[in-house]
Structure 1
């Protein structure tokens, strides 16, 4: 299920799906945030803005209004205990 990056909790890994605004796309693409890239929400400031994500091996701070324009998909972790395929 696709959600906005601003809605993701600390410690969750997600895959970037798309961007709502083209003007932010260029800025983020230059920093390694491209569709298909796996990122992790590392920290959220006490008042919720900014947030820190881990992308391509480095930490990147984003304003909350920037994170609201990034659509992501949570990475599903297979449950080995209940998954007969594993």
Structure 2
């Protein structure tokens, strides 16, 4: 069996139960204030994150755990958080 390969995605791309590491926070230019806000919540490079659940219907908001804290994030906010996750190569 081969070793897992790290894959870059946004936090919004994860499925409930998926775990990853924060790579960076990169909101659109017009929402640049979100960088400081999301970082202050603990979404810093190298921090482990886990998508716990998505609201139904529509999947918004998402319930996310970072470090020892749990937050509800809108999909637009979660899409600004780039993550590294491990996936098995086939």
Where on the TM-score scale, by shorter chain, does this alignment land: which range?
0.7 to 0.9
Structure-to-structure mapping, 1:3-82, within 5 angstroms: 3-21=9-27, 22-46=32-56, 47-75=58-86
TM-score (normalised: structure 1): 0.81
RMSD, aligned CA: 1.5
The more displaced of 6-15 and 18-27 is 18-27
In structure 1, runs of 5+ residues without a counterpart are: 78-86
User: Quick one: higher RCO (CA 8 Å, sep 6+), 1 or 2?
Assistant: 2
Q: Which runs of 4+ in 1 moved over 6 A?
A: none
Larger Rg: 1
TM-score (normalised: structure 2): 0.77
In structure 2, runs of 5+ residues without a counterpart are: 1-6
